[in-house]
């Protein structure tokens, strides 16, 4: 019983540290630009996915744009940072169900993740929660997923965050994008385009 409790505690710490790591990147100062107000307006950018991340270890294959670089790869977690703006970060993580404490299914996992955000900012607001199915192999395989957005403040910075979690068997795959509020509209298309190329193995 004590060992099981330790696993739950460690899993909670891992989830909290993951969010803290993304916050650390988000707070890094962006380079100054001299673009005109018209160019600064949020205009969705066309996303081209030239690179591919293929990991047999955690069983995923996903494409990403060359404008992002992989800055962390420990075979269980992958972090990608925008080359032109280090405040924009994408994270991919695999979690085993038995390492997520009381998260017996994807719904309780999402509840746990939301509580982690509210620990950072009790006034954080959640938007656009959506349930979906990840279909692959001509719909022979279907995996349940839930996505949501959250806006919160941390050390005076306004952050917006997209998260999608997919359950395959006893494992969860978590995909997230963190960006300053002003940059988020231009970057959300990156991770949604990436998810369109995802294959779980």
- Residues 171-185 have pLDDT tens digits of 999 999 999 999 999
Residue 41 resides in a domain? no
Domain of 10 in residue numbering reads as 2-28+49-200
64: tokens are 């990403």
- Residues 53-97 have pLDDT tens digits of 998 888 999 999 999 999 987 777 899 999 999 999 999 999 887
Q: Global pTM?
A: 0.76
Pairwise CA distance, residues 92 & 119, whole Å: 22
Angle between helices 106-120 and 2-26 (to 10 degrees): 60
Residue 43 resides in a domain? no
Q: Are the C-beta atoms of residues 10 and 25 closer than 8 Å to each other? A: no
Q: Are the C-beta atoms of residues 133 and 157 closer than 8 Å to each other? A: no
Pairwise CA distance, residues 177 & 19, whole Å: 11
- Which CATH number fits the domain that encloses residue 22? 3.40.1000.10
Residue 171 resides in a domain? yes
Domain tally, the chain:
1
């Amino acid at each position: 019983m004590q060992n099981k409790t330790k696993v739950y505690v460690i899993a909670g710490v891992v989830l909290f540290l993951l969010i803290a790591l993304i916050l650390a990147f988000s707070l890094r100062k962006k380079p100054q630009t001299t673009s005109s107000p018209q160019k600064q307006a949020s205009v969705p950018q066309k996303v081209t996915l030239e690179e591919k991340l293929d990991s047999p270890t955690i069983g995923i294959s996903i494409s990403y744009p060359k404008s992002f670089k992989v800055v962390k790869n420990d075979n269980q977690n992958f972090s990608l940072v925008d080359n032109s703006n280090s405040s924009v970060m994408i994270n991919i993580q695999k979690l085993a169900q038995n390492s997520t404490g009381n998260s017996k299914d994807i719904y309780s996992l999402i509840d746990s993740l939301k509580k982690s955000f509210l620990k950072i900012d009790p006034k954080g607001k959640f938007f656009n929660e959506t349930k979906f199915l990840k279909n692959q192999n001509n719909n022979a395989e279907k995996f349940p997923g839930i996505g949501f957005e959250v806006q919160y403040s941390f050390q005076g910075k306004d952050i917006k965050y997209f998260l999608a979690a997919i359950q395959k068997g006893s494992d969860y795959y978590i995909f997230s994008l963190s960006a300053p509020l002003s940059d988020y509209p231009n970057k959300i298309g990156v991770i949604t385009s990436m998810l369109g190329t995802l294959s779980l193995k």
